[in-house]
């Protein structure tokens, strides 16, 4: 049998339900894997070993006691599942740093809604994963502590900012993980690490207790081994939260129901602007091969035209810096955390630029103009979704880049995230799935974008592709 | 740092090429309505209150201590 840490959520639940193994055994296999390889990968800032084993034992006691296990696992869809959480989510009693020196010793007294919901669904938090400090970046190189390495090649970056979460899933250190995306921070690391990353519609999942980056864009979401696991976690997380005024009260559909319905008759849009010359050739080739697979499975492919994604970089940069400068103002070092001089270089850059674009005399030229172009980008997508059901393109313009790559440009993150920024600006959901491997055996990802609240069809399309291609079965040798 | 900021501002100049005549700004991607609730204080356990105060780097007699912010 496989080592238990390699299992998916579905498999792990099946095993526990049939008493093939205990929750403690599952937890110990994950912890053992972390002990063995995290020295090289460096995905975790905190591993909650004692706590996780204790909780696993408690779960086992419940399993022993409970007569109707079918019912138990139905009621608690993540019962006994070891989950890693990005260190930007508050966890009561567990250090929460946002990978920053300012919050290096911060221990929250409360759980983020996402964490609370995971626990209520039976999940066990196994540890907190690395990110670019305050989520500012696309590589984890901007973490104030250390850089995470890509499990597929230790000399490569995992992407970011949820790089620790993506690497922990790809390296089978956990069964599933939680990331957060402002623009690309779930999809891009998922692409570089060859796993599934879902960024839900803005507002579908509560932001309460997520250390804020840019509040009009931030969105928590699952990073998993399979599309089905992604649906299971989204089901747990989605919904209105009275602590987040922007969370949506729209009913949450059953994401698992008919996830295997197939894609017969679905109209897929291919935006020609997303295949620009800077996108690596191999990436374009693989996405085009994937399109043929979709076609074979009965989808209708239509070429469409969208706003040049490179414009979105500029809009995103201005809005995000502005919101960052406002959000980071609360870290005054008076009530908790350290003083402001502990902010790293990237945070300082963003605070300064954000303050500048919001200042009198520049507000109209920068911030207001960016907000207006944001309107145009939103309208552009609305128009496109009158013609097609979903849009498919590469997630990242490249495969995982070598360590050090982010140091070359102050705009590194924005340029890496060029293909995910337009949809994030419009608050749209998107999912990354692996669509093959490069000549150097690095994973490549494609993204499926849909209209607001279209998570269900996105998961169906992604599920069909993953089932057909089975790229997700390939594992890195570490 | 100065060079980096200038480079970023140079980059975002791209937006000047886009015609925004008559376009309304978007501050939020989702059409939501204002959510109001009664402004009622929530009772917290003394334990939690103490935990929160313990987090402050400087405190005195159960209060958070700061530098003087006003001068008379």
Total Cβ atoms within 10 A of residue A325: 19
Distance in Å from the first CA to the final CA of chain B? 38
pLDDT above 60 for A201 = yes
Options A139, A143, A161, A454, the catalytic residue: A161
CB-based contact (8 Å) between A423 and chain B?
A: no
With a CB cutoff of 8 Å and minimum separation 6, the contacts of A52 are A27, A31, A82, A124, A125, A126, A127
pLDDT at A257 over 50: yes
Other C-beta atoms closer than 10 Å to the C-beta of A97 total 26
Say what the pLDDT of residue A1 is.
43
Q: Assess if residue A9 is contained within a domain.
A: yes
What sign for the dihedral angle of Cα A221, A290, A412, A146? positive
For chain A, the distance separating the N- and C-terminal CA atoms, rounded to the nearest angstrom, is 19
> Confidence class of residue B4 from pLDDT cuts 50, 70 and 90?
confident
Query: Does the active-site annotation cover A372?
Result: no
Residue A298 lies in a domain: yes
Q: What is the mean pLDDT of residues A238-263?
A: 96
Residue-wise pLDDT tens digits, A381-390: 999 999 999 9
Concatenated DSSP letters for A160-190? SSTHHHHHHHHTTSSSEEEEEESSSTTHHHH
A161: annotated active-site residue: yes
| Residue A354 included in any domain | yes
The pair of structure tokens assigned to A394 is 């590469």
**Are B51 and A248 inside 8 Å of each other by CB?**
no
- Domain-located, residue A88: yes
Q: CA A125, CA A27: separation in Å to the nearest integer?
A: 10
Residues in chain B within 8 Å Cβ distance of A314: 11-15
Query: What's the confidence (pLDDT) of residue A2?
Result: 55
**Contact, A138 vs A161, CB < 8 A?**
yes
Higher pLDDT residue, A178 or B68? Answer: A178
Indicate whether A295 pLDDT > 60: yes
- Domain of A276: which CATH number? 3.90.1300.10
Task: Answer whether A169's CB lies under 8 Å from A85's CB.
Answer: no
State how far residue B69 is from chain A, nearest Cα, in angstroms.
12
The mean pLDDT value for A390-403 works out to: 96
Of B15, B23, B51, the CB nearest to A109: B51
Quickly state the pLDDT bin for B29 (edges 50, 70, 90).
confident
Q: Looking at the domain assignment, is residue A478 inside a domain? A: no
pLDDT at B43: 87
Residue A80: inside a domain, yes or no?
A: yes
Confidence grade of residue A415 (pLDDT, cut at 50, 70, 90): confident
Task: Quote the ipTM score.
Answer: 0.89
Q: Is A247 a catalytic residue?
A: no
Mutate to test the interface with B, among A333, A371, A381, A417 (most CBs of B within 10 A): A371
pLDDT at A157 over 80: yes
Cα A334 to Cα B13, B45, B52: the distances in Å are 38, 22, 12
Q: Which chain B residue is nearest to residue A244, measuring alpha carbons?
A: B35
Give residue A366's domain range.
4-473
Chains A and B form CB pairs within 8 A to the count of 114
CA distance A26 to A54: 13
**Active-site residue (options: A138, A168, A185, A325):** A185
Share of chain A above pLDDT 70, in %: 100
Are A372 and B4 in contact (CB < 8 Å)?
Answer: no
Q: What is the mean pLDDT of chain A?
A: 96
> Is A149 a domain residue?
yes
- List the single range of A39-48, A62-71, A189-198, B40-49 with lowest mean pLDDT: B40-49
Shortest CA gap B50–chain A (Å): 11
A102 CB within 8 Å of a chain B CB: no
Over range A268-288, report the average pLDDT.
94
Chain B hits for A368, Cβ within 8 Å: 25
Give the distance from residue A19's alpha carbon to the nearest chain B alpha carbon, in angstroms: 39
CA distance B18 to chain A (A): 8
Binary contact (A425, B29; C-beta < 8 A): yes
**Helices A345-357 and A309-327, axial angle in degrees (round to 10):** 100
Tokens 């300064």, residue located: A352
Find the mean pLDDT for residues A25-41. Answer: 98
Pairing of strands A196-199, A219-224: antiparallel
**What are the distances in angstroms from CA A477 to CA A36, A151, A433, A441, A466?**
13, 8, 20, 11, 21
Confidence class for position A27, pLDDT limits 50, 70, 90? very high
Q: Read off the pLDDT of each residue in A258-274 and give the average, rounded to a whole number.
A: 96
What's the structural domain count of chain A? 1
d(CA A274, CA A305): 9
A67-90 average pLDDT score: 97
Q: Span B16-28, mean pLDDT?
A: 91
Closest to A417 in 3D by CA, of A118, A135, A37: A135
How does residue A172 score in pLDDT terms, banded at 50, 70 and 90?
A: very high
Two structure tokens written together for A127: 């540890």
Q: Indicate whether A91 belongs to any domain.
A: yes
Is residue A424 within 8 A of residue A217, CB to CB? The reply is yes
């Amino acid at each position: 049998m496989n080592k238990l840490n390699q299992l998916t959520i579905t498999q792990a639940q099946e095993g526990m339900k049939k008493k093939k193994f205990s929750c403690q055994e599952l937890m110990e296999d994950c912890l053992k894997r972390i002990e063995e390889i995290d020295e090289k990968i460096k995905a975790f800032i905190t591993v909650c070993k004692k706590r996780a084993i204790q909780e696993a034992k408690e779960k086992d006691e419940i399993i022993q006691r409970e007569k109707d296990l079918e019912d138990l696992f139905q009621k608690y869809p993540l019962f006994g599942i070891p989950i890693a959480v990005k260190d930007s989510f508050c966890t009561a009693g567990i250090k929460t740093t946002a990978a920053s020196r300012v919050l290096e010793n911060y221990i929250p007294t409360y759980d983020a809604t996402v964490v609370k919901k995971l626990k209520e669904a039976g999940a066990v938090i196994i540890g907190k994963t690395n990110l670019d400090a305050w989520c500012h970046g696309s590589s984890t190189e901007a973490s104030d502590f250390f850089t995470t390495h890509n499990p597929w090649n230790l000399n490569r970056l995992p992407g970011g900012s949820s790089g620790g979460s993506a690497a922990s899933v790809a390296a089978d250190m956990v069964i599933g993980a939680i990331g957060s995306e402002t623009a690309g921070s779930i999809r891009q690391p998922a692409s570089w690490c060859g796993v599934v990353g879902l960024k839900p519609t803005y507002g579908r999942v509560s932001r309460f207790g997520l250390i804020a980056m840019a509040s009009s864009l931030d969105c928590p979401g699952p990073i998993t081994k399979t599309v089905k696991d992604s649906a299971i976690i989204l089901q747990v997380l989605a919904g209105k939260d009275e602590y987040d005024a922007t969370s949506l009260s729209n009913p949450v559909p059953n994401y698992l129901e008919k996830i295997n319905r197939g894609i017969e008759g679905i109209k897929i849009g291919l935006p020609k602007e997303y295949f620009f010359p800077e996108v690596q050739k191999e990436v374009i080739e693989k996405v085009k091969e994937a399109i043929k697979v979709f076609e074979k499975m009965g989808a209708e492919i239509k070429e469409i035209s969208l706003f040049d994604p490179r414009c979105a970089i500029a809009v995103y940069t201005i809005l995000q810096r502005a919101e960052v400068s406002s959000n980071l103002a609360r870290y005054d070092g008076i009530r908790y955390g350290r003083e402001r001089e502990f902010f790293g270089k990237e945070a300082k850059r963003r605070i300064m630029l954000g303050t500048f674009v919001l200042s009198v005399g520049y507000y109209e030229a920068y911030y207001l103009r960016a907000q207006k172009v944001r309107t145009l980008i939103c309208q552009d997508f609305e128009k496109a979704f009158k013609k097609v059901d979903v849009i498919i393109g590469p997630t990242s313009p490249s495969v995982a880049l070598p360590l050090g790559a982010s140091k070359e440009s102050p705009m590194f993150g924005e340029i890496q995230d060029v293909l995910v920024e337009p949809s994030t600006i419009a608050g749209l959901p998107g999912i990354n799935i692996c669509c093959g491997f490069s000549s150097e055996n690095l994973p490549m990802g494609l993204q499926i974008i849909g209209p607001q609240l279209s998570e269900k069809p996105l998961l169906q399309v992604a599920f069909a592709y993953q089932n057909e291609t089975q790229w997700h079965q390939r594992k890195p040798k570490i | 740092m100065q060079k980096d900021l200038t480079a970023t501002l140079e980059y975002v100049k791209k937006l000047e090429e886009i015609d925004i005549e008559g376009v309304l700004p978007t501050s939020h991607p989702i059409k939501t309505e204002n959510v109001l609730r009664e402004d009622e204080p929530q009772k917290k356990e003394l334990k939690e209150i103490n935990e929160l105060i313990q987090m402050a780097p400087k405190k005195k007699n159960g209060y958070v201590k700061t530098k003087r912010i006003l001068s008379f």
